[in-house]
Amino acid sequence: MLKQSPCPVHLHITSLTPGTATQVLLSTQGAENWKVERSPKPPWELFDKSKIVILSPDSENVIESFDMDKVYMIGGIVDRSVRKARTLGKAATHDIQTARFPIQEVLPERRTHILNIDHALKIICGHLHTNDWHKVLSECVPMRKVRPLLSSAVAA
């Protein structure tokens, strides 16, 4: 996706310990050839904690725009199931700020505001390119995650 995108991001995969199931899985997907930085260290050891923003669907802070001086952390690469507020707990433990995409505000018909990493990255790149939340979220949020709008007419 990033090969075709004019998106000005630099990706890091952190907390990637050699020999773990995650590292082995990524290897089977060809991760060694990806143009990303890899590190066994967690992000709070690689970057200034005051510049990290953990993206969490449970955050009360809504992103209005992206600050190019910040490091935005997409969590969940190893999550096999949704665990409510897990990223908030991790952020609190390390005193790191959190934020979420304005999905509930822009797409109130959305059933859930939890996205996979690919969709989150597309949203970030799309917003950096267009600065238009409605356009980006409408294009990037999978339709299977949107409730059909109920018609005001009832069939007899």
**Catalytic residue set:** 79
Q: How many CA atoms lie within 13 A of 71 on its CB side?
A: 19
Type of residue numbered 29: Q
Number of helices (H) and strands (E), helices first, in the chain?
6, 5
For residue 25 the two structure tokens come to 């899985």
CA separation for the pair 74, 72 (Å, rounded): 7
Q: What does the block give as tokens for 142?
A: 């999978």
